[in-house]
């Protein structure tokens, strides 16, 4: 029992409640369900403790799913105008106007739709200082990654940006959002890098990004005045928190476990997702694909999203147990700190559980293998339970994926990196490491979206279809 317990653990952020992972056996699932359910009631929001509402539907009495896990900070933020009239009203009188880069545009969309609740805009000095010193916002809520708007000092001066200014932000040459400036400040970028990433080495991509920020930061609320159209094939997977929560409710899902990914799925991922589903007694797995800035050699976004959807479309997860979605976010590779951020965002989406495996959101050798597991022991309960997964491998004797701690045979280890190597060599993986339907989707995506390659290259970076398009808007 103790050994099994060590393999997959579903527990509250402080590790007080542990549901044991076991090989599924008849009669056991029920006991685990009851246990995990009790755990949720203890750590969930006040709303989550309210009993299921009974409603009549088609003559059958159904319990409406209670998926009202409280958003971080208690309130789901929405800062999107409801109409063009409202947008024009807000624009009127705004004299400052500037273009923004892709990262800022993605973060504005994510904040405006509440993915980053309780954030209502770009952080001020006290928020960033709180994150660096205590991993909290100025209001005391846990937060681990600064979300900041940078400008050169020269641009700030030339534009006359100061506290109280409103700035029209343009993206793709169209009016996009309004930033109501509350603060213009500087921050020690080295301090920020060391606090968030645990290193000041600029070969760490998050540190490099931090050092590349301009010298002034603008804090203030944003309002999305011209919501972008999410382009195919991503549009089918775009569910802002309010809509996601409504979907969960329609599906009667009251427990959903999130799987964070930036990779196409191999059978190891699939096995971990299924294990997490079982361990957490979830109704479904939400695959949340991070879509944002790409690096050469990454999988193209389209291949990631569509191949995950293929797992559900082809019955590897039966209908009603699997959903694929996107999150607009530029990975910081902050390891444990990014794990906290992921937990908060998926909580805002309504998920009750979040999977964390080895090297979650890490890069190189900056973080220990299970740093993302350990950090949740050090912070207050953020209200979403971690499902911690450990080492797995493919065993040719068992002829399946299994846990290292359970299997007594000689393994064949593989990873997402090894799978990438196989694909780069032009070899079709066997179905025991990648589902043939997923492989086919990856290769079709390569042809349709990747200029012949499933991997990001210069051509893709220059000419890819935009993830979102801002509609024309006359000002």
Partner 1 sequence: MAERYPINIWINEERFAKLQAAGLSDMAKEAFAGLKVLSVMTTETQKDELIKRFPGSKCDTATTKTVELLPRVFKDKLFDLVIQHKSVEPDVVEKAMAIS
> Which residues form the catalytic set?
262-263
Interface region with partner 1, contact rule CB under 8 A, candidates 74-82, 102-110, 127-135, 357-365: 357-365
Altogether, the residues listed in the chain come to a count of 475
Structure token pair of residue 388 = 């911690």
Q: How far is CA 157 from the centre of its chain?
A: 36
User: Binding of partner 1 at residue 59 (CB under 8 A)?
Assistant: no
Query: For residues 143 and 366, which CB has a smaller minimum distance to partner 1 in the complex?
Result: 366
Min CB(199)–partner 1 separation in Å: 17
Distance CA 372, CA 336 (A): 4
Q: Are 108 and 177 in contact (CB under 8 A)?
A: yes
Min CB(144)–partner 1 separation in Å: 22
Binding mask 61-80 for partner 1 (x = CB under 8 A): --------------------
b/e per residue 267-298 (b: at least 16 CB within 10 A): bbbbbbbbbbbbbbbbbbbbbbbbbbbbeeeb
Long-range contacts: 101-107, Cβ < 8 Å, 24+? 102/293, 103/292, 103/293, 103/330, 104/149, 104/169, 105/171, 105/176, 105/228, 105/468, 106/292, 106/328, 106/329, 106/330, 107/147, 107/328, 107/329
User: Binding of partner 1 at residue 422 (CB under 8 A)?
Assistant: yes
Subset of residues 261 to 320 that bind partner 1, contact rule: CB under 8 A: 296-297
Binding mask 425-444 for partner 1 (x = CB under 8 A): xxx-xx-xx-----------
**Residue of 255, 332, 420, 435 that binds partner 1 (CB under 8 A):** 420
Q: How many helices (H) and strands (E) does the chain have?
A: 17, 19
Interface region with partner 1, contact rule CB under 8 A, candidates 58-66, 151-159, 381-389, 421-429: 421-429
User: Binding of partner 1 at residue 414 (CB under 8 A)?
Assistant: yes
Distance CA 387, CA 90 (A): 44
User: Binding of partner 1 at residue 365 (CB under 8 A)?
Assistant: yes
Q: How far is CA 346 from the centre of its chain?
A: 6
Interface region with partner 1, contact rule CB under 8 A, candidates 65-73, 271-279, 306-314, 424-432: 424-432
User: Binding of partner 1 at residue 208 (CB under 8 A)?
Assistant: no
**Residue of 115, 176, 394, 460 that binds partner 1 (CB under 8 A):** 394
Interface with partner 1 (CB under 8 A): 296-297, 358-359, 365, 369, 394, 396, 399, 412-415, 417-418, 420-422, 424-427, 429-430, 432-433
């Amino acid at each position: 029992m103790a050994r099994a317990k060590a393999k997959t653990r579903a527990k509250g952020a402080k590790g007080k409640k542990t549901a044991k992972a076991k090989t599924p056996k008849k009669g056991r699932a029920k006991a685990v369900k009851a246990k995990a359910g009790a755990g949720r009631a203890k750590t969930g929001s006040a709303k989550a403790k309210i009993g299921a509402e009974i409603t009549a539907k088609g003559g059958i009495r159904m319990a409406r799913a209670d998926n009202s896990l409280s958003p971080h900070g208690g309130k789901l933020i929405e800062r999107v105008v409801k109409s063009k009239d409202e947008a024009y009203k807000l624009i009127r009188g705004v004299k400052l106007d500037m273009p923004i880069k892709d990262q800022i545009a993605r973060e504005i969309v994510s904040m405006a739709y509440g993915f980053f609740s309780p954030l209502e805009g770009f952080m001020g000095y006290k928020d960033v200082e709180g994150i660096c010193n205590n991993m909290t916002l100025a209001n005391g809520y846990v937060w681990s990654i600064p979300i900041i708007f940078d400008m050169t000092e020269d641009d700030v001066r030339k534009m006359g940006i100061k506290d109280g200014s409103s700035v029209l932000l343009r993206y793709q040459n169209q009016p996009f959002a309004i930033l109501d400036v509350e603060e213009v400040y500087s921050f020690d970028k080295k301090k920020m890098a060391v606090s968030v990433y645990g290193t000041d080495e600029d070969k760490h991509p998050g540190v490099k990004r931090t050092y590349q920020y301009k010298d002034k930061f603008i804090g203030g609320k944003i309002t999305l005045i011209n919501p972008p159209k999410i382009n195919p094939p991503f549009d089918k997977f775009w569910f802002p928190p309010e809509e996601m929560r409504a979907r969960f409710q329609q599906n009667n899902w009251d427990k959903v476990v999130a799987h964070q990914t930036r990779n196409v799925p191999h059978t190891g991922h699939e096995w971990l997702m299924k294990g997490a589903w079982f361990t957490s007694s979830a109704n479904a797995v939400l695959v949340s694909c991070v879509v944002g800035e790409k690096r050469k050699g990454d999988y193209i976004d389209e291949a990631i999203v569509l191949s995950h959807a293929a797992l559900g479309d082809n019955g590897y997860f039966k209908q009603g147990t699997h959903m694929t979605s996107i999150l607009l976010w530029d990975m910081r590779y902050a390891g444990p700190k990014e794990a906290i951020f992921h937990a908060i965002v998926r909580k805002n989406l309504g998920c009750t559980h979040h999977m964390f495996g080895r090297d979650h959101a890490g890069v190189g050798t900056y973080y220990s293998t299970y740093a993302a597991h350990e950090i949740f022991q050090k912070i207050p309960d953020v209200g979403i339970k971690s499902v911690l997964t450990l080492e797995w491998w493919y065993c040719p004797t068992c002829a399946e994926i299994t846990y290292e701690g359970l299997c007594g045979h000689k393994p064949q280890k593989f990873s997402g990196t090894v799978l990438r190597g196989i694909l780069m060599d032009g070899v079709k993986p066997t179905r025991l490491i990648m589902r043939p339907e997923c492989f086919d989707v990856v290769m079709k995506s390569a042809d349709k979206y990747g200029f012949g390659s499933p991997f990001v290259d210069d051509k893709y970076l220059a000419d890819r279809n935009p993830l979102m398009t801002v509609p024309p808007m006359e000002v």
